[in-house]
A and B are shown apart, each in its own frame.
Chain A
Amino acid sequence: GAVVSQHPSRVICKSGTSVKIECRSLDFQATTMFWYRQFPKQSLMLMATSNEGSKATYEQGVEKDKFLINHASLTLSTLTVTSAHPEDSSFYICSARILSQGGDYGYTFGSGTRLTVV
């Protein structure tokens, strides 16, 4: 089945530094990927939609200058948390929708990245 690989799984960084999270589609091409954030004991909230070759679309309230998204190829999207602060500590998850001539195979998620800012 289609796999979305997300790295790193855990990262601890100092306040003020930047962190990059990668999301790769391993055996399919994803023109669109989605980035979610999940705080402890809460649901997943869509942050932005990453589009290959064009600018990302951000949800209301998400700072585009703080959460930089790059989707330079059909198999890789990256999320960079710039000048991270403790309140950015969260579980970040990427996702891709799998559409092919054979049909709609739904949304597949990465395994998530636990970011802790100290």
Chain B
Amino acid sequence: GQQLNQNPQSMFIQEGEDVSMNCTSSSIFNTWLWYKQDPGEGPVLLIALYKAGELTSNGRLTAQFGITRKDSFLNISASIPSDVGIYFCAGQPMEGGGADGLTFGKGTHLIIQP
């Protein structure tokens, strides 16, 4: 099946630092999404990417959809304590017309040291 390779698995950073994480795949995806999940909660959508090469920002977050539709990165600038959590990339397959569920990466666990 389709797989998303997400890196890094975990990050230990100082408050105020910038963060960068990425996902790659051997498959092409129609839509690429970035989610944040807090313990015991469902994922919350951060950024959705629909077009190849698309660069989108949401506050301190910036994400880009690779031109080949096989990769994406998420950057967080000037990290703050509430950024702590697990970040997942997720892709919606090229086929299916929206009827397919998402394939998730394994997550990046962000830990911020004061």
Contacts and interface: CB of A to CB of B under 8 A. Distances in A.
Interface in B61-114: 88, 90, 92, 98-107
B106 A93 contact: no
Interface string B41-74: 1111100101000000000000000000000000
Chain B: interface size category: 20 to 34
A15 interface: no
B42 A110 contact: yes
Contacts, number: 59
A36 B103 CA distance: 10
Chain A: interface size category: 20 to 34
B41 A44 contact: no
A49 B42 contact: no
Given A43-B88, A45-B104, A32 B42 contact: no
What are the 9 closest A-B residue pairs judged by CB atoms, nearest first?
A: A109-B42, A46-B101, A34-B101, A43-B104, A106-B48, A112-B42, A44-B104, A111-B42, A43-B106
Given A46-B102, A60-B1, A109-B45, 4 more contacts: A44-B88, A97-B98, A106-B48, A111-B42
